[in-house]
Amino acid sequence: MKALRKYIDSVKPNFEEGGKFSWLRSTFGGFETFLFTPNEVNKGGVHVRDAVDLKRTIIVVVLALLPALLFGMYNTGYQHFRMHGILDAVTFGDIFWYGFVQVFPIIVVSYVVGLSIEFAVAQMRGHEINEGFLATGMLIPLVMPADVPLWIVAVATAFAVIFGKEVFGGTGMNLWNPALIARAFLFFAYPSKMSGDSVWYGNQVNVADGFSGATALSVANQTGSTGFDFMDQVYGFIPGSIGETSVIAIALGALLMLCTGVASWKTMFSVFIGGALTAYLFNQFGAESNNMAQLCWCDHLVLGGFCFGAVFMATDPVTSPRTESGKYIYGFLIGAMAIIIRVLNPGYPEGMMLAILLLNTFAPLIDNIIVGRNISRRKNRVKQIAK
């Protein structure tokens, strides 16, 4: 490693102010700090600091996404071969390889497009490169259908990074979760490619009879039953976006994020409570004719993007409330709102994305109320003394 460090030190002057590549300063800095934790020391203020930094935090999120990603690859292949009715004839390797070939290019496109924009913007502003996109770049592919055209991934990622994040000032300043912005952009701009009710696997040629490729939620919307075994829904052997189907894989990620304290259990927990309670109320009091209202609350929680959203999207600290008590309210409302959209909006059977984006918008307001109570406590103290 010393040789590498020596090499970096020898080329570093070229990238510093006055050097011939000084316009690439941010890019160089990004790679340098990726390889080596900087030698910067504390000046003024505290003399020692916690070992954690944002890179470490973000990398835990990326690690937590891996089970969902790997399962998503497998499931992509699984759904493909199931659709063609030749599931019994192929090996595990065939299935995974098919999924890998489908999914990997989406990840590459998401990272290349997103990071290029991040680098360019950092360069323009003379900032350091932020690591926030490492997580976003992984989240975007996981909320896409497996057969999404790559150019759409590129357009959505670019839109999300530029208008979801950079215009607000970059990592830490954005109002909405950039990965969901990417998905929402696709949903509204290319509804024919991504309507939320059907997902394509493979190129839809030679489809076995009677197989539509519809997601479980969409089927349930029309028929009142998901058409899948409950345990299959938990394991994730159902059609859906790449990362969202397996509750088990998502739970592994959730476990990692909760053990490391990277995600807030308060948000996660209250999303599930809010969702379960609302779905249960619809079960009890919803119209008989509304299929979604009659869908069991446990089905609601394991279907579609509910788990994925609760674990990976709702817990994004930047777009959540910053107060601890606010997180309960925020989570609960996301869960409730997701189910309400599913049940009461016949046009769109999935409500998680819109629920989270809506509550992202309201997060500052929730904080404002919580902090406002602290402020009035302080004012009352003065009044008390005045009496």
- Which residues are at the interface with other proteins (CB under 8 A)? 1, 4-5, 33-57, 59-60, 128, 130, 132, 169-173, 259-262, 264, 317-318, 320-324, 367, 371, 374-375, 377-379, 381-382, 385
Cα–Cα distance between 340 and 352 in angstroms, integer? 10
| CB-nearer residue toward other proteins: 205 or 382 | 382
Q: CB of residue 381 vs other proteins: minimum separation in angstroms?
A: 6
**Cβ distance to other proteins smaller for residue 131 or 244:** 131
In eight-state DSSP terms, residue 126 is T
What span, in angstroms and rounded, lies between the C-alpha atoms of 331 and 315? 9
Q: 232 by DSSP, 3-state: which?
A: helix
- Report in angstroms how near the CB of residue 327 gets to other proteins at its nearest: 8
For residue 1, the Cα-to-chain-centroid distance in whole angstroms is 35
Q: Which of 50, 88 has the CB closer to other proteins? A: 50
Q: Which is nearer to other proteins, 84 or 127 (CB)?
A: 127
Closest distance of CB 152 from other proteins, Å: 29
What's the closest the beta carbon of residue 8 comes to other proteins, in angstroms? 9
Token pair listed for 81: 């071969």
Residue 6 or 346 with smaller CB distance to other proteins: 6
Distance (Å, whole) CA 330 – CA 120: 34
Minimum CB distance to other proteins, residue 260 (Å):
5
In sign, the C-alpha dihedral spanning 248, 253, 254, 255 is positive
Q: Of the candidates 172, 165, 103, 170, which has an alpha carbon nearest to the alpha carbon of residue 138? A: 103
C-beta of residue 22 within 8 angstroms of C-beta of residue 49? no
- Least Cα distance to 128 among 15, 262, 1, 14 occurs for 15
